[in-house]
Each structure stands twice: as structure tokens, then as C-alpha cells.
Chains A and B, each alone.
Chain A
């Protein structure tokens, strides 16, 4: 295998570390489908993902290199953002203070563009992750 091929395979493997843990969100999606709340699922999980990608890129900006544990952060923050809905299924209403769960109630108004904006931000940030975190390059003087 050429060096370029090796590097590409390494990037794919590293990207799989990022995306892999979020497979655990699939049963959560099934739960939301049951309650007819699919837009809510994508709204809050994308919020968690976007915030996680920002944090990972900030880590890269300050020199922290890629880690196989990168993928845990999007999963954990997605679950954090979804938490008020898990509580709601059990009975208690949302409260205003649940905005600490990554603006859960603010975004629950489901702004017409919210999911689209979050998806676009996610796409750009994943490209940024590929560019700045996976290849491990840093400008050096």
C-alpha cells in the first residue's frame, strides 16, 4: 500500500472512531419514532454533535492531538441534549431551566430553520475535523 493509501486508510479508521459510538443513538431514534418526535431527535442530537465538534476543534487549535476517544464526546453531548425528553416520557414537563441541556427548551420551539442550520453546521464542522484534526498537521515555523 502506498503512503497516501495508508494515510487515507488511517483517516477512515479515525473517522470511524468519531462516528462509531453514535450508533448507540439508533435505539434512541427508534424511541422518538414511536412517540412521533423525529424532528426533536435530530434537533437535540445535532445540537450535541455540533457543540462536541466545536470542542474537539478547539482542542486541536490549542495543540491537543486526535484521540480514539473523540467519538465519545458527540455521543455524550447528544444524550445530554436529549435528557429532558427522557424525563418528559417519564411524566414531568419541561421547565425553563432545562435550557442548561444545550438550550433544549429554547430549541423545542422548533424554529423552522433550526434543524437545517444545525445540520449544515455539522457538515462544515465534520469537514473541519477531517482537515484539522485527523491529519494531525499543524503549521510550524
Chain B
């Protein structure tokens, strides 16, 4: 009972618990954010899976490409038509087995030069990073740069090396691989070896087998 000065008295009432209403605008914001993020994540997973292409087959014409080169400007495979070409794919100039492989290619260079073999090394590093590696390792062959960005890795995708089909768990960069192309622009050998380097003897045998008459093995 509550006493009022005028003498009136009332029974104190327990206030009803306040019901909380969830802000509709916040709900809308959350739904919009969830839809946007889900769409982005789904797009990423789908794009990533579509980036997996089959390994280039021996005997097929070598897919052409034009990429930024450490020698300046862009270099294309078509510009080397008439010469055998060795493509050296590495995931990155920063991985230690990749640097070992680049040193092995450099060591094999005199013999490859004698055979008039042109060499392109390809990775998904920035050109400035590749140039630093070319200088530090004393490489005498050019590096071509791709990007781990949707639609910007034409060589790795065309040769099936951006995601190697040999291993389902390869990451989003080029796989260690050697591709030998004859003077007529036909793929003669494609050797894939994720996370391991090729030694000098293996590099020379890959090129030699590819240059032999009717040669080419995978």
C-alpha cells in the first residue's frame, strides 16, 4: 500500500517486464552482409575450382602467351618460333627448392645454349621480385611474371600448371614443372614435380628427349 498525502492509497503494482524488440534495420543489415559474404566466398571457391585445367599434352601445339619479362616489356612464346624452348615453371622465386632449381637451370645453360634452346622461367611473382632474384642468383635467362589473380595467369592455366591435376591439394600458384617445346611449337615433354626441384641432369635429359626425332615423353 502506498500512502498519498491526500489520503488516497493505492496498491503498488509490479511493473510488467518490458519486451525487447529486435531492431528490424539491424536484422536487414545482417541479412545483407551475410548474403554478400556468402556470394563472395562461393564465387571464390567456384573461381578457384575453375582455375584447375588439365596438364598440357605432349604432341599438342604449345599454347602461346605474352607476359611481362624481367628483360623489359612483354615476351611471347610466338617470338621464339623456330627455336626449341624450355619453360621452367616454379611456384615462387622465394621457395628454397625453386631457387635450387633455378640454379640448376643456370648450371645447365651452357649446354642448352649450344642446342639453341631458349628458356623462359615463369612464376606468379611480381616482376620486381623476379628481377631481384635474377640478380641475386646470377641468372642469365628471363623470368616471366603471372599473377594469382582471376584471369591473370594465362601460361599456368594454359599448360595446366596453375593447379596441377597430378595433386588435388596444390595451392594457388604455379607448380614446379618443365615443359619442352620443339622448334615447330609442339610440346614434346611436360614433367611435373610439385614441391621438388629438378636437378641439372634431369633438366638436360628432359630437353634432350624432347629434341630427339619423334621424341617426347611425359
| Chain A residues packing against B (C-beta within 8 Å) | 35-36, 50-51, 53-54, 57-58, 60-63, 88, 91, 93-97, 99, 103, 105-112, 114, 117-118, 121, 124-125, 128, 131-132, 138-141
Contact A105 B30 (CB under 8 A): no
Chain A residues closer than 8 Å to B125, beta-carbon distance = 36
Could you show 29 A-B contacts with beta carbons less than 8 Å apart?
A51-B37, A60-B26, A91-B96, A93-B91, A93-B194, A95-B169, A96-B168, A96-B169, A99-B45, A103-B41, A106-B41, A107-B41, A108-B171, A109-B48, A109-B148, A110-B147, A111-B43, A111-B47, A112-B150, A121-B36, A125-B33, A128-B26, A128-B29, A131-B26, A132-B25, A132-B29, A139-B22, A139-B23, A140-B20
Contact A111 B150 (CB under 8 A): yes
Q: Shortest beta-carbon distance, B99 to chain A, in Å?
A: 13
Contact B18 A140 (CB under 8 A): yes
B137 interfacial by beta-carbon distance below 8 Å: no
Contact A138 B45 (CB under 8 A): no
Chain A residues closer than 8 Å to B37, beta-carbon distance = 50-51, 54, 121
Alpha-carbon distance A107/B46, docked complex (angstroms): 10
Known A-B contacts A54-B30, A108-B48, A140-B21; A114 and B40 likewise in contact (beta carbons under 8 Å) = yes
- Other-chain contact of B27, A53, A54, A61, A63 (Cβ < 8 Å): A61
Contact B44 A111 (CB under 8 A): yes
Alpha-carbon distance A35/B93, docked complex (angstroms): 11
Alpha-carbon distance A95/B48, docked complex (angstroms): 12
Q: Shortest beta-carbon distance, B170 to chain A, in Å?
A: 7
Contact B40 A117 (CB under 8 A): yes
Report the tally of A-B residue pairs with Cβ distances under 8 A. 118
Alpha-carbon distance A60/B23, docked complex (angstroms): 10
Alpha-carbon distance A89/B4, docked complex (angstroms): 78
- Other-chain contact of B19, A97, A117, A141 (Cβ < 8 Å): A141
Chain A residues closer than 8 Å to B29, beta-carbon distance = 57, 124-125, 128, 132
Q: Shortest beta-carbon distance, B60 to chain A, in Å?
A: 26
Cβ-closest chain A residue relative to B94: A35
Chain B residues closer than 8 Å to A63, beta-carbon distance = 20
Chain A residues closer than 8 Å to B194, beta-carbon distance = 93
Give the interface centre of B21, B30, B96, B195 by most chain A CB atoms within 10 Å: B30
Q: Shortest beta-carbon distance, A139 to chain B, in Å?
A: 4
Known: A54-B30, A61-B23, A108-B172. 7 other contacts (CB 8 A): A54-B33, A93-B171, A103-B45, A109-B150, A110-B149, A140-B19, A141-B19
Alpha-carbon distance A97/B172, docked complex (angstroms): 13
